[in-house]
Structure 1
Amino acid sequence: MRRILPLLMALSVPVVVLAQTALPPAPYADTQLEDPALEKKAHDLMLTIRCVTCQSQSIADSNASMASDLRSEIRMRIKGGEDPEAIRRWLIERYGDWISYAPSADPILWPLWAAPILLLLAGGALVATRLKRRGNA
């Protein structure tokens, strides 16, 4: 048994080394477009798309491999002549509204947009009634 344990340990080292999950970046990753106007369009769109992995950075600022893939996809679509807003809609369709830093104004979200205003009005009314009572007392 004493001889088998070192042998098992020696055999387990290569298994751990082979179990890496990080893949090297693709050769086309983050290759900028030749046309500066198209690259600017792509970069402007990338600044408004949230990284799915990092969740607190835009894909333009993120080093995650998913962000790199999305940057490449955006560049390929813009190079193909697709409109940035169409690309944004495609990304939102694929990943949900959360991926876009530009908030939408869909009617279903109006209560969410109105809630802070209503709370401020209610707080102002509460303060006004308290001050009025204090003045009468």
Structure 2
Amino acid sequence: MLCAAAAAAFEPIEFRDAAEEARFRALSAELRCVMCQNQSLADSNAQIAGDLRAQVLELMREGKSDREIKDYLVARYGEFVLYNPPVKPSTWLLWFGPALIVLGGGIAVAVVVRRRATNAPATAPSEDNQEW
């Protein structure tokens, strides 16, 4: 049997108006579920995601701005909770790491191709000179 908090996490959220719902959906799409890691807060079915959605709605109703809500979650869970963390020295690897890997792979392929080209025979054997 689910506890009351877990059951509440999966209940549909009642919004005051369409503007509140639109803001909530946009904000929860920008935040990452801290448990699922590959899903946004809006898409996750994890219990903690439901708790965080409720927390986000509560902070919205307290009059907090989107920036203040994000700052609150970052203070608790780190910048990982943001789908688009700011570019700064601590996140350079996150932002530029994939490009460096692709660049390194391209360089490796170029080196291998050049080595094979220099080691290849100068002329291909003709059909007349083939030994069987």
Q: Same fold (TM over 0.5)?
A: yes
Pairing partner for 1:78 from 57, 60, 66: 60
Letter in structure 2 aligned against 1:123: A
Runs of 4+ that moved beyond 3 A: 53-56, 134-137
The alignment of Structure 1 onto Structure 2 pairs a total of residues equal to 116
Residues 79-107 of structure 1, C-alpha deviations (whole Å, 9 max, x = no match): 22212122112212211222222243222
Q: Separation in 2 of the partners of 1:33 and 1:108?
A: 37
RMSD: 2.8
| Match status 1:116 vs 2:96 | no
Letter in structure 2 aligned against 1:84: D
The residue number in structure 1 matching 2:128 is none
The residue number in structure 2 matching 1:62 is 44
Q: Quick check: 1:30–1:72 contact (8 Å CA) kept in 2?
A: no
Q: Separation in 2 of the partners of 1:136 and 1:89?
A: 63
The residue number in structure 2 matching 1:12 is none
Letter in structure 2 aligned against 1:109: T
Q: Quick check: 1:52–1:99 contact (8 Å CA) kept in 2?
A: yes
Q: What is the TM-score of this pair, normalised by structure 1?
A: 0.65
Q: What is the TM-score of this pair, normalised by structure 2?
A: 0.66
The residue number in structure 2 matching 1:53 is 35
SS state at 1:54 partner: coil
Q: Separation in 2 of the partners of 1:135 and 1:127?
A: 12
Q: Separation in 1 of the partners of 2:110 and 2:47?
A: 51
For 1:1-137, list aligned pairs within 5 A: 22-24=2-4, 25-26=7-8, 30-112=12-94, 113-114=96-97, 115-127=100-112, 129-130=114-115, 132-134=117-119, 137=122
How far residue 132 of structure 1 moved from its aligned partner, in angstroms, is: 4.6
Change (3 A) 1:32 1:102: farther
Residues 85-135 of structure 1, C-alpha deviations (whole Å, 9 max, x = no match): 221122122112222222432223324515224414422541453255146
Q: Separation in 1 of the partners of 2:90 and 2:39?
A: 26
Which ranges in structure 1 are unaligned for 5 or more consecutive residues?
1-19
Which ranges in structure 2 are unaligned for 5 or more consecutive residues?
123-132
SS state at 1:60 partner: coil
